[in-house]
């Protein structure tokens, strides 16, 4: 039988989940699948989303929500909980922060195989490789990645402003609008500073963000990659160095010298920071498949993170590129351009400020200038903020 303390913990967490706004991913998840994984960076809203799902279950559906770092699991296993829930005719087991549980993949496989009438949903760090666990979960689990807030979601959650989602085609046709908002730029500036993470609404964003960065590197990455303390310090130094340069073309030799590691370690360290959604790596099309091309530029993952790492003094030009890449990667395959900044589906994009000219892309068909400090689209000139309505 299930320990009453676990039910009490679930009831408290569900009651504290007051948000009725669903993230972009909510409607895309096949909640009826037997096993679902939702991964993402710290603080992007994974726990809130699964708790919303529990709150909206049909009356009579027996479910249990647990967090893998609950003290209960210092003397009990996930398998024990699943077995107990099964005896009570439980239909759904939700496990939050699975990456904090040592033997997670093997026990999830056992739960899946021994309880075919039970659905399992679990959340985990973006660093976690669900398909690379000790147990073979690849054919058992549907994996989804949750990213931070789009500009559209920020408007709804922080300001109660409802905006529609627009496809890339609609954005380029100048159809992206925010009903009731004539001047979106002041709201856009606020979003760039701290709008990517839902927890910013609670205040003290820089301090909270620093805690997220520290825990991501010292706990999530270190545990996943089994890193020593000295290596963790080098990762933190690498992020600090990259934050002063990004977006920039990576130079393994100079970066290795800067942080005191072998140049052969640089790609691995960058890959870990990318998996943790602390940086993004823009690739070219040489790989032939998404994500396999040569790295052309390294970005800080999102403008809000960039703002904190720069002490509130992020370069506006770098901020613009970072925003475009960050928002468009969720629904699109974004690659580097040889003549401009980005290419998406054969279209070329050059990002800049109000005075950005079109000479650089004048001879490139199907090309667009993306301008900051602009409210409305004009021909092939599109306002930067509009790309924040894509998801």
Span 233-269, pLDDT tens digits: 999 999 999 998 889 888 899 999 999 999 999 999 9
Return the residue matching tokens 């959604």: 277
pLDDT at 133 over 90: no
Asked if residue 196 has pLDDT above 70, the reply is yes
Confidence of residue 290 (pLDDT cuts 50, 70, 90): low
What is the pLDDT at residue 94? 98
Largest CA distance in the chain: 71
Q: What is the pLDDT of residue 285?
A: 83
3-state secondary structure of 126: coil
Mean pLDDT of 12-38: 95
| CB-based contact 140:36 (threshold 8 Å) | no
pLDDT tens column, 296-347: 999 999 999 999 999 999 999 999 999 999 999 999 999 999 999 999 999 9
Instruction: Tell me the C-alpha distance between 361 and 349, whole Å.
Output: 8
Judge whether 181 and 187 are in contact, CB under 8 Å.
Answer: yes
Per-residue pLDDT tens digits for 380-391:
999 999 999 999
What pLDDT, in 10s, does the model give residues 66-89?
999 999 999 999 999 999 999 999
Band (pLDDT 50/70/90 cuts) for residue 225 is confident
- The secondary structure of residue 383, as a DSSP letter, is E
pLDDT of residue 132: 62
């Amino acid at each position: 039988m299930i320990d009453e303390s676990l039910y009490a913990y679930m009831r408290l967490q569900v009651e504290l989940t007051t948000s009725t706004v669903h993230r972009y991913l909510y409607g895309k998840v096949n909640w009826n699948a037997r096993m679902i994984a939702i991964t993402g960076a710290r603080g992007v809203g994974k726990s809130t989303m699964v708790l919303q799902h529990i709150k909206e279950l049909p009356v009579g559906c027996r479910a249990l929500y647990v967090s893998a770092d609950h003290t209960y699991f210092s003397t009990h296993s996930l398998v024990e909980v699943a077995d107990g829930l099964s005896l009570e005719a439980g239909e759904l087991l939700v496990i939050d922060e699975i990456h904090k549980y040592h033997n997670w993949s093997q026990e999830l496989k056992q739960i899946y195989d021994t309880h075919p009438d039970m659905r399992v949903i679990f959340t985990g760090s973006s660093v976690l490789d669900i398909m690379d666990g000790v147990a073979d979960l690849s054919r058992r689990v549907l994996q989804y990645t949750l990213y931070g807030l789009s500009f559209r979601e920020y408007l709804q959650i922080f300001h109660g402003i409802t905006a529609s989602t627009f496809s890339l085609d609609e954005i380029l046709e100048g159809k992206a609008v925010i009903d009731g908002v004539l001047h979106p730029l002041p709201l856009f500036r606020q979003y760039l500073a701290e709008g990517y993470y839902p927890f910013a609404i609670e205040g003290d964003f820089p301090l909270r963000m620093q805690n997220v960065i520290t825990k991501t590197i010292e706990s999530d990455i270190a545990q996943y990659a089994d890193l020593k303390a000295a290596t963790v310090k080098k990762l933190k130094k690498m992020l600090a160095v990259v934050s002063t340069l990004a977006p920039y073309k990576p130079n393994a030799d100079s970066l290795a010298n800067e942080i005191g590691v072998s140049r052969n370690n640089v790609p691995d360290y960058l890959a870990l920071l990318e998996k943790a959604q602390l940086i993004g790596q823009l690739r070219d099309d040489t790989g032939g498949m998404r994500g396999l091309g040569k790295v052309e530029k390294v970005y800080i993952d999102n403008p809000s993170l960039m703002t904190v790492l720069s002490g509130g003094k992020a370069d506006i030009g770098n901020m613009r590129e970072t925003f475009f890449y960050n928002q468009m990667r969720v629904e699109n395959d974004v690659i580097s351009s040889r003549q401009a900044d980005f290419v998406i589906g054969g279209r070329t994009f050059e990002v800049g400020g109000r005075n950005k000219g079109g000479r650089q892309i004048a001879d490139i068909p199907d090309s667009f200038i993306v301008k900051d400090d602009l409210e409305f689209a004009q021909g092939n000139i599109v306002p930067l903020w509009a790309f924040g309505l894509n998801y």
